[in-house]
Structure 1
Amino acid sequence: MRVRAFWRRLGVPGLVDVHTHFMPERVLRKVWAYFDGVGPLTGMEWPISYRQDEEERLALLREFGVRAFTAMLYPHKPGMASWLNGWAAEFAGRTPDCLHTATLFPEDGVETYVREAVEAGARVFKSHVQVGGYDPADPLLDPAWGLLAESGTPVVMHCGSGPQPGKHTGPEPVARVLARHPRLRLIVAHMGMPEYADFLDLAERYAEVRLDTTMAFTDFSERLSPFPVEERSRLADLGDRVLLGTDFPNIPYPYVHQLEALERLGLGDEWLRGVCHDNGARLFGLGAAAA
């Protein structure tokens, strides 16, 4: 298998993928329906490559040799986050290779349920500024960001303006959050696409800011939002803070294409080892056991 051949050649025990989606079935079906209709928005069709049932998708990730992955899920309105967190806790309980994932929304009670999720073992949070339509610097979220910064819990945030800009997407709202909470372990999803350079600036300014590779550098995204060639040297310099993300199963190409897209950047095997395994393993305290 090409995926296993990729990481075996690098000499790592598998992959750590910080951006995969598992969520309640009826919610996932709505997400898939969105992508089914996204062609007119992007000018490109977005077929879901891995539209299998949950058990088949889990089996595929394990067959690929993904040692640890996430259940990225997110609310689009108040009152959803706590319910989603309950589902995610149950999913993590029956899926030991999934990093217990949680989410949040600017609403009354957010600090309480974020604290409960952390105390229940949540290891990573998902924030989707675009879908949620909220300002990440909303004062309602301030106590939650403070709690997550204090606990060292990473947050994967879709805050870039791709594939379609939102009212609160882009680097400026995120910069306001980080100014208040400079120790927040923020993982910028999709490398901040398309505002790549601006989010690289934030990573250079704040030591705990990281970026995930989700869909970046692939043929699909390069047609829509190409990564600037002149910024590749900054990718190399930030090599210990770039993490593999894929958006599995919601991708319009095979899983291996994300890996091959990273390899063709030409940043070397040491960089690839960090991105595809070592950086995530270090962040989440994973051992060195083989997949």
Structure 2
Amino acid sequence: MKDHRTAPADADPGASGDSAPAAGRDSGGEEAGEVRRFWGRLGIPGLVDVHTHFMPERVLRKVWDYFDALGTLTGGLEWPITYRKEEAERTALLREFGVRAFTAMLYPHKPGMARWLNGWAADFARRTPDCLHTATLFPEPGVEAYVREAVEAGARVFKAHVQVGAYDPADELLDRAWGVLAEAGIPVVIHCGSGPAPGKHTGPGPVARVLARHPRLRLVVAHMGMPEYEDFLGLAERYEEVRLDTTMAFTDFAERLMPFPRRALPRLAGLGDRVLLGSDFPNIPYPYAHQLQALERLGLGEAWLRAVCHDNGARLFGL
């Protein structure tokens, strides 16, 4: 892990409290200052967030409508969208927070969507240079071809959503596509845990079958694999290219429903070079700063925080 000793010149290294998140609070300059003080104190040049959502506006609006309707995949939970803003406002806010690099996590729920989404994401990456060019996939005929096309077009990260897509990641239709991504060394952020609601193919079993075939595949398990945290920690301990992102984990919202087991904290500390900051921005029911506070209050130390919030992502993506 890098040990940053000097804060950037534009950072405000003043202390910030670990206050509980206020639902619906103004997330403008005041929160941006809070976020920047967090990473300024750590002496890193900003944040690398591997789990943020940008997608075609009509698709994103449908996602928000689903949350508003308390859909079954959200566990029927009340889930207010804190950052329900236009695309330009959302990118500007991430920059105001000091997020150096972020992603456009997008995903199909049926055949025939992925290639179209990949075209949109390629265009978004061209006009948004601080967004890591993101792509996606679905088990369908032709998936290997369009995954290869996306790789050749410069995709730097893929998103797979086992819960929403309702597919088995070990489906033979995906096997050659996983091989392409493993060979290219491109990370895949995969929602495969059974939270907030289980699916037919969620949980560690299907992913373990994928890794048995492709042990060098760079899977980034979203949400720390909640609620099967310890099973997914085990996969990361077994496969050196498996990583986990922090998205929503350890926050008050998640801890009330799917608490991270305290007994697993030493294992989490031991994997400090393979845990990455993720937030789920903009689709979170609390302020962005609360994810950072939740990580800090784990008490795993500043070196761990520096690695998770910046260095691991910067190394993975060559920033």
> Which runs of 5 or more residues in structure 1 are unaligned?
287-291
| Residues 99-127 of structure 1: per-residue CA shift (max 9 Å, x gap) | 00000000000000000000000000000
Is 1:12 paired with 2:50?
Answer: no
Is 1:190 paired with 2:223?
Answer: yes
Shift of 1:45: 1.3
Is 1:2 paired with 2:50?
Answer: no
2:117 counterpart SS class: helix
Return the letter of the residue paired with 1:22.
Answer: F
The match for 2:305 is 272
| Residues 229-264 of structure 1: per-residue CA shift (max 9 Å, x gap) | 000000100000000000000000000000000000
State the number of aligned residues.
286
Return the letter of the residue paired with 2:306.
Answer: R
Is 1:257 paired with 2:277?
Answer: no
1:146 to 169, 179, 182: 179
Q: Matched residues, percent identical?
A: 83
Matches within 5 A, 1:62-101: 62-101=95-134
When Rg is computed on C-alpha atoms for both structures, the one with the higher figure is 2
The match for 1:30 is 62
Matches within 5 A, 1:28-177: 28-38=60-70, 42=75, 44-177=77-210
1:102 counterpart SS class: strand
Q: Is the 8 A contact 1:160 1:170 kept in 2?
A: yes
The match for 1:220 is 253
C-alpha RMSD of the superposition: 0.9
2:273 counterpart SS class: helix
| Residues 167-199 of structure 1: per-residue CA shift (max 9 Å, x gap) | 000000000000000000000000000000000
Q: Normalised by the size of structure 2, how large is the TM-score?
A: 0.89
| Residues 122-147 of structure 1: per-residue CA shift (max 9 Å, x gap) | 00000000000000000000000000
Distance in 2 (alpha carbons) for counterparts of 1:115 and 1:43: 37
Q: Is the 8 A contact 1:19 1:245 kept in 2?
A: yes
Q: Closer, same or farther in 2 for the Cα pair 1:206/1:169, shift >3 Å? A: same
Q: Is the 8 A contact 1:39 1:46 kept in 2?
A: no
Distance in 2 (alpha carbons) for counterparts of 1:42 and 1:253: 17
1:167 counterpart SS class: coil
Q: Normalised by the size of structure 1, how large is the TM-score?
A: 0.97
Distance in 1 (alpha carbons) for counterparts of 2:190 and 2:108: 13
Distance in 2 (alpha carbons) for counterparts of 1:42 and 1:86: 31
Q: Closer, same or farther in 2 for the Cα pair 1:268/1:37, shift >3 Å? A: same
1:127 counterpart SS class: strand
Distance in 1 (alpha carbons) for counterparts of 2:45 and 2:117: 31
2:240 to 207, 220, 241: 207
Shift of 1:42: 3.5
Q: Is the 8 A contact 1:39 1:45 kept in 2?
A: no
> Which runs of 5 or more residues in structure 2 are unaligned?
1-32
The match for 1:180 is 213
Return the letter of the residue paired with 1:48.
Answer: I
Q: Is the 8 A contact 1:125 1:155 kept in 2?
A: yes
The match for 2:26 is none
| Residues 137-168 of structure 1: per-residue CA shift (max 9 Å, x gap) | 00000000000000000000000000000000
Q: Is the 8 A contact 1:17 1:70 kept in 2?
A: yes
Shift of 1:283: 0.1
1:239 counterpart SS class: coil
1:134 counterpart SS class: coil
